[in-house]
Chains A and B, each alone.
Chain A
Amino acid sequence: MQPGEAVAILGPSGSGKSTLLNLIAGLDRPDTGTVTVHGVRVDGLGEAGAALYRRSKIGMVCQFFNLLDDLTVADNVVLPARLAGMARREADRRAAELLENLGIDRHARAYPGRLSGGERQRVAVARALMNRPPLLLADEPTGALATVAGQEVSRLLAELNADGQTIVVVTHDLALARSCTNRTVKIADGRIIEDIGARAVAWETGAAQAAR
């Protein structure tokens, strides 16, 4: 992957999409092989090392948001920055800016449980971007959302990529892959079976629809 790319990982259930993402994020370790991200050998990191790596290199968005229910929206977003040692005032300013950009600043003091699915996913995105990570990982980011909310998240990711954010999206949603990525990697049984550009994805989608 090159900086600025947005890559969609596609594949059927059990193909290894989420496992790949977990390996990149340092949440899991490969049995064999190596994982190198931004010059860092992730597979060789210990638990503490992996935590430091995630703080600085990775932003992650999950299907079920993974927000801390007992922290407010603002506190959830600020958390990675404070862990990384960012000054409180600066972290608050950055969180406010992100929440405003994502259109959820009015919920800053609310707890995640009170937000809709789309709003929660925006909070998750804000938190993922807090430390300006070189790589944003999204695991089925629209999987738990209604169509409209899913489209909003899809648009958001596209905008982020347009601003230069490198993104890896794991999904089985071709529409999401088409709308917010410029490269698609298909995997099955843990192996890459295809690596195509965004136009090809668009063509493939159109052909599939025509065939129906």
Chain B
Amino acid sequence: MSTDNERIIHLADLRRIQSSLASLDSTITHLDGNIAHVSGQVQNVNAEVQNTKDRLEQLIQEFKDFVLKDQLDKNLQLAETRLVKVRQELETKFGHYDEVRRRTTGILKAVDASLVKRQTIENATEEQMLAAPGYWLAPALIALASWLNDKRELADKAMMEALRLDDEKTSLFFALVTRRGGRFKASREWLDRYFGQQDPHELEREIVVLIDGFTNGIFGPDARTKTSKQIEAWIAELSEKAGFVEEQHAQWKAALEVMPVAAKPDEYKFLRQYSPTWPQLDSSLHGAKLHEVVYSHISGIFGQEVTPAQSIAYAVDGMLDKLVTNFDDEELPLRRDERLLSLIVEEQGNKDAAQSRFGVEKTLEQRVSLTQLLTNFAMHPDVSQASLSTQKLSIALSREWIRQAHDDMTMENRAAVPGTIGLAIDSWSGQTMDGANEAELLQSLEAHMDQRMREDASRVKLKPMHHIALGASIFIGIVGVAALMPAFLLFTVAGALFWYLSKRSIDKKRKIIEEGYVELKESCVQILRAALADTVEWRLEYAEEDAKASLVSEFLDGISAEQYAYSHYDKARAVMRA
């Protein structure tokens, strides 16, 4: 009975165990399928996360670009609107001065042609005095009209009033007017008076008219010699000041360094992206490219031919126009605003760049030193109102400082050139001097990628659970065999199957990792080759641009100040010193 019962129990138990095993088997198969599915999904998710990260970074960059562009657009729009307002204000506040200004050369030309009655001229100038009482040019015109009409008393009175309002401009004005009329002695006396009021450390901006007159050969031989000596004396006086030479070098260096170099944003795109040394490389190449820019600027100025005015009268009229139009201090704050806003418009809304250019120009300072003036004439002739001859003379006078500043700039640039160029591709980094160690770097990159692949692949392995399951199932199988219960072997089969499927899944994952690394390695190798090609070209371009430094020095050595003071209108022969 008991044996029958045991058999029944055994049969019943076995059936249950068999059904449990079948269920376990299907669970394992299902689980394995799930693991593979989840693993696939994880990989998809990883790829998507990477993709999303890239897109997010791209979006952030696009957003930053958008914000920057929007800001620049707004700055540009605002600057344009304000520029119109400033110009309107200039017109409203100082527009009536224009009428006075126009009369200056008008009177002289009318007298030349003898087409207007002297009384009309006198009346017109008196009317101007009523319209612009505080303006130095109004009494100066009355003095001029009275002089032309031989009314000495009125001329003296008007002249005194003009001198009271602005002594320097009045002196310069009459120095030019008397020169126009061929009164050399009077012209020299007015010039003496003008020079007497000048301090080379703080010169008025209108001195450009005097230097223009000097370089364009307007003054007579006497005045020209005097001006030349005066400029030399000023430079000598300034040079005695401690730190003067250093100041000049710094001033010229700053002026040369901000000269615009054509940018090529697509050039060296691999170095730009994969070299941490790129900022230094970019700055060094920019510095080297400046040599040609400086050379082109200077040689361009000297390459242009000065076309002298038809006669001394035309030449002086041009100077008078310039004197009366551009240098009135009352207008200076508005002129400064106008210039800064124009620079913002030129820089497409980039306020920092405009401010930096404005800071370097210093052309609208009320009083500046002679050397700053020379820098302004040479580098910003449009704003400083310098003529081509004055530009030439300024460079000739400053050539030693320019050369020294350029030499300093070259030395600094050469010293800052990176000896080794760093490369960082993915998680690998290396160094090259000139791109010649390609084989060595490729080897290093490949070794790095292989190492990473091995590390990542080694992380994907069977967990202890898998080994325990296999061990346990084998143990159950042994126990089953020992207990003469072959059904227990099913545990062993299930355990082995579970282990085998897990192993297969892991092998698949490893294969995916290896394939991924093969692709990554290939892509990194291509990037490295391209970055090394960029390096080779960068070194060659740098050497080529750097070699142009000597062009500047050689050109400056070949010029002298004496060459650029014209004597076009002189009738007398110049006597050279022995």
- Decide if A and B are genuine partners: no
Residues of B within 8 A of A (CB): none
Residues of A within 8 A of B (CB): none
